[in-house]
Structure 1
Amino acid sequence: MSTTSDERPRGDAVAAPAAGEGSPRWPARSWVALLICSGVILLDGLDISMITVAIPEIRQEFGMGAAAAQWLAGAYILAFGSFLLLGGRFADLFGRRRTLVTAMAVFALVSLFGALAADPVLLIVSRFVKGMAAAFTAPAAMSVLTTTFPEGPHRNRAFGIFNVFEASGYSSGLLVGGLLAALDWRATFVLPIPIAVLILVAALRFLPPDPPRTERSRLDLGGAVTLVAGMLLLVSTVSSAAEAGWTSPWTLGGFALSGLLLAAFVVIERTVKEPLIRLGIFRNRGLVAANVSAALLYGGAMGFQFLLALYLQNLNGWQPWQTALVLLPAGLMVVVIGPVLGALMNRFGVTRVLMVGLVAFIPSYLLMLRIGPEPDLWTVLLPSSVLWGLGFALSISALMVAGTSGVADHEQGLAAGLLNSSLQVGGAGGLAVVTAAIVPGTQLAMLYPGVVVALVFAVLTIAAQALRRTRGS
């Protein structure tokens, strides 16, 4: 595992297109590989957003309290954020196709289990296991993509299309989930099954088998245990900090213990012969800056969505599908910009596109400071949604390109896992900070501090990239 990031073995690439100038032209097998990877990320977004709007119906059927019901979404996010690094490294060590196919089969089976569950505890368990499966499919799919398309125009364009599917899955899931939940909430568990099976069959049929390893891969068990335990505790502590209190014994103890577990993980990785994660990967300043920016960006984004839902649904009595319609322009921005994003990054550079995207969040959040007792759809909400979508469309793909550039193929799964982990931990942390910032007071006035926090996150995201550039990385 001591190969440097300059070595780029390509034995397991899928019909990799040749690098070159101009508009990328891809063979059919590369398109199929991209569609399989995009299908994985679409399924993840669809599954997360559908359960969000189905929770009220599930609560009503099982008589669940609010604290228990939030785990229908929280269990998935907890498992997903905690197992991502392990899932990414599994893909590197034991094969991307093998990891993707196995985890997708588990995802489909657990979806069926959830659809048939007659007990709320089993339903929550199914969500946790499904989050674990997704933590293996997502980085495996991203590493298939990055090893299929070389750095430069091809990868830039591929990530633009990839993120169209991600945004489409999340935004359509809010609408589809609302419609299905109105009929039967179990349909939201059934719908992902045929999609997962289709992806599984396509991966078996069109992705080439993983190349044989010259040496037998060994899993760093001590590193795996301390990493997963530390991440589980960290994500759960961050997620519950707003409710438990940032200075409560549970929160302080959780941060302390998770810090000790992750410190133990680092010690193990420095001494073990075959580490789970090669710590030298963090010498890549572009990767580190991309992960910091991804965490901050997603923290502000999750806070923005939470505040918007609180404002429209709790304070103004809107339905979830109506809130989804307000966010629809944001999703459409990603769909429109995604296919041409590669050309934009090729022409203007990844950094310029990224900075324009990050800057777009600032006026979006500033507009939210103008919200009043009655929703102003045309001059506040929709313009804010469009700017938010523009920022997301430009920045998230650019961050993925930046976070996987200069990384050897045999560590692309790790790089993908790091990026996704940063997004999840950042999202949970941002949501917790925004929630804590909402101070008691009038129903409307209490939202403004949360908007300010999202704005601060946007500024810090820009600062992280600016600092990287001043250091010449």
Structure 2
Amino acid sequence: MSDTTTASTPQGSFLATGRGKITLALLCAVTFLDVMDGSIVNVALPTIRTDLGFSVQNLQWVVSGYLITYGGFLLLGGRAGDLLGRRRLLIAGTVLFAASSLACGLAAGQGMLVGGRLAQGFGAAMMSPAALSILTTTFQGADRHKALGVWAGISGAASAVGLLFGGLLTQEFGWRWVFFVNLPMCALVLFGALRILKTDHRRSVPGDFDALGAILVTAGMLLLIFTLVKAPDAGWGAGRTIGGLVASAALMAAFGVNEQRRAHPLVPLSIFRIKGLAAADATQVIAWAGFYSMFFFVTLYMQNVLGYSQLRSGLAYVPVSVGIGFGSTVATKMFVRTGTRPIIVSGALLAAGGILWLSRIPVDGTYLGNLLVPLVIMGTGLGLLYAGVQTAANAGVPEDQAGLAAALITTSFQLGSALGLAVFSGIATSRTNHLLAAHASPAQALTAGFQRALLIGALCLVAAGAIALRASNTRGEPAGTPETRHNPKPSYDPA
């Protein structure tokens, strides 16, 4: 039985009960809130810059600050949930997220806003793996397939919805409301966590906690994501960039050595022996490098080339959310018949086709003629791929490591997003600057840069599909028991 709520039983479906539906809605609200906050600020950035006097260079910290702490603390947050209690960590993270959202909305200066965003990311790093691990240990069998499909659909659509909300709130109420909107949602999450989820208990004594491992992995992840975020400005060949990547690799290597020597490691390396988990994480990194940068460049294209308003740009992504929901729904129904591999590969190739189509956007493009259809195709592929990856990454994971597995797949999402934005921004900027030097118009130069970056993004999705071809074909089997941690049985289709 889960330490949170009653799981599905052979006698009936927990998800079919009112309590089961409310539990799933509560957990999905957490991922919606965390993922949405990574994008909701984007369309408000010009207004924030004018109001608080940000320079162009410092303005990126309003977005990057959240991504750095969110990605940097995920592994620590996930394992802490396994050891200290997932409900407890979910509540603590939500309180921190709410307090920092209030601070951001009330910010009178640059430092307070950036500091609040850093704290928001830390809160999200506690909330997200706790919620996903509660989901995977609460629902079993067919319920688990459906729950993960809904989770994936909500997570995948949250970025697009964030852009819509960001445009609407900024235009109608002001930029501060992109942060204030979090407060009622956090209140609902806290109320639900206290009333719906059962109290969990500490799983370890203080001496069991791997403090050195926590410091090493957190420092390594923070430095890696920080370096990737700053790379487009500093340059990939700059000493600062190379030094950051080398130092991050050294910290992660030291972390690996430490984990092998610890009796109670923060990240038991045996988890990577679970079939399908490593391949799912790798697929997530490569796929989201393409997905996240696509949202970034298409938004810039709509606003800077086509002249769309913030609200119109947000509304343009509504059909994407529909496509994501459709894809995740189809994936949920197909898992038992086909396994995850065909779902992930199909989603990757479908999304690659949509982004490849987008890479042909013209300077004088229109929404109906050049954006709508490829965005819906891409969204459908995203829904298929994301649902498949989430299921593959959590299948066969022992219950006492569910938080860690959830943190690993969410870290892959954050790492892929930061990596894609860093690399593809450099590609787009280089192409644009070259054409500007050749006296092309700004619109032509920008569009050509976006085209090249989107083309590489499409190739990333093809590569993600190729990785998925070599992954095990799990049908989303329930988590194993703690006793099988060191010798897991294959939870996959040998074919």
When normalised by structure 1's length, the TM-score is 0.93
Aligned counterpart in structure 2 of residue 235 of structure 1, from 225, 240, 245: 225
Give distance in 1, aligned partners of 2:60 and 2:182. 21
The offset of 1:452, in angstroms, is: 2.2
CA distance in 1, matches of 2:472, 2:125: 31
> 1:199 Cα shift?
0.5
Report the alpha carbon displacement of residue 58 of structure 1 after superposing the two structures with TM: 1.2
Counterpart check, 1:445 vs 2:452: no
8 Å contact from structure 1 (residues 37, 145) kept in 2: yes
User: Which residue in 1 is equivalent to 2:119?
Assistant: 129
Q: Deviations over 1:234-268 (max 9, x none)?
A: 00111121221111101100000001111111111
Per-residue deviation, 1:379: 3.8
- The superposition leaves residues 253-296 of structure 1 with CA deviations (integer Å, 9 ceiling, x where unpaired) of 00000011111111111111211000111112400000000001
The answer to whether 1:332 aligns with 2:322 is yes
Aligned letter for 2:33?
A: L
Task: Report whether the alignment pairs 1:177 with 2:180.
Answer: no
- Contact 2:327 2:379 (C-alpha < 8 Å) held by counterparts: no
Q: Distance in 2 between matches of 1:50 and 1:452?
A: 25
Where does residue 5 of structure 1 map in the other structure? none
Amino acid at match of 2:391: V
CA contact 1:19–1:154 (8 Å) conserved in 2? no
Q: Specify the alignment match of 1:3 in structure 2.
A: none
> Which whole-Å deviations, capped at 9, do the CAs of 1:173-192 have from their partners, x for residues lacking one?
22222222122221222110
1:454 aligns with 2:439: no
Q: Is 2:292–2:420's contact at 8 Å kept on the other side of the alignment?
A: yes
| Structure 1 residues 217 and 165, CA gap change in structure 2 (3 angstroms) | farther
Structure 2 distance, partners of 1:386, 1:184, is: 30
Alignment of 1:468 with 2:471, yes or no, is yes
Report the alpha carbon displacement of residue 337 of structure 1 after superposing the two structures with TM: 4.2
| Aligned-residue offset at 1:11 | 4.5
Q: How far apart in 1 are the matches of 2:378 and 2:301?
A: 17
In the alignment, which residue of structure 2 is the partner of 1:280? 270
Is the Cα–Cα contact under 8 Å of residues 312 and 375 in structure 1 kept in the other structure? no
Q: What does the per-residue CA deviation read over 1:283-329, in whole Å, with 9 as the maximum and x for residues that have no partner?
A: 12400000000001100001211221232222222223322233221
List runs of 5+ in structure 2 lacking aligned partners. Answer: 474-492
Question: Out of 8, 18, 22, which is 1:17 matched to?
Answer: 8
1:317-328 counterparts in 2 under 5 A? 317-328=307-318
- 1:161 aligns with 150
TM-score by length of 2: 0.89
1:145 aligns with 2:153: no
Give the match for residue 108 of structure 2.
118
1:290 aligns with 2:293: no
SS at match of 1:49: coil
Q: What is the distance in 2 between the residues matched to 1:24 and 1:246?
A: 51
Residue identity opposite 1:234 in structure 2: L
CA distance in 2, matches of 1:434, 1:101: 36
Residues 115-124 or 91-100, more deviating = 115-124
In the alignment, the residues of structure 2 paired with residue 305 and residue 95 of structure 1 have an alpha-carbon distance, to the nearest angstrom, of: 35
Decide which of 47, 63, 79 is 1:73's aligned counterpart.
Answer: 63
Gaps of 5+ in 1: 1-9
Aligned residue in 2 for 1:223: 213
Distance 1:198 1:303 in 2: 31
- Give the Cα separation in 2 of the matches to 1:300 and 1:472: 30
Q: Sort the Cα spacing of 1:213 and 1:241 in 2 relative to 1 into closer, same or farther, 3 A.
A: closer
Name the counterpart of 2:351: 361
Distance in 2, matches of 1:145 and 1:327, equals: 28
The CA RMSD measured in Å over matched residues stands at 2.1
Determine the C-alpha separation between the residues in 2 that align with 1:349 and 1:153.
13
Higher mean C-alpha displacement, 106-115 vs 312-321: 312-321
Q: Would you say how many aligned residue pairs link Structure 1 and Structure 2?
A: 462
Deviation at 1:24, TM superposition (A): 8.1
Deviates more, 1:248-257 or 1:61-70: 61-70
1:198 Cα deviation from its structure 2 partner: 1.2
Q: Which amino acid aligns with 1:16?
A: A
Instruction: Kindly indicate whether the alpha-carbon contact (under 8 Å) linking 1:329 and 1:385 is maintained by their aligned counterparts in 2.
Output: yes
Q: Report the Cα distance in structure 1 between the residues aligned to 2:449 and 2:174, rounded to whole angstroms.
A: 35
Letter in 2 for 1:164: G
Separation in 1 of the partners of 2:412 and 2:327? 24
CA distance in structure 2 between the aligned counterparts of 1:377 and 1:273, rounded to whole angstroms: 58
> 2:392 matched to 1:389?
no
Give the conservation status (yes or no) of the 8 Å contact 2:7–2:14: no
Secondary structure of residue in 2 paired with 1:50: coil
Is the Cα contact below 8 Å between 2:86 and 2:134 reproduced in 1? yes
Tell me how far apart the structure 1 counterparts of residues 71 and 313 of structure 2 sit (CA, whole Å): 26
Tell whether the 8 Å contact from 1:42 to 1:165 is kept in structure 2 after alignment. yes
Match of 2:40 in 1: 50
1:81 alignment partner AA: G
How far the C-alpha of 1:20 sits from its partner, in A, is 8.8
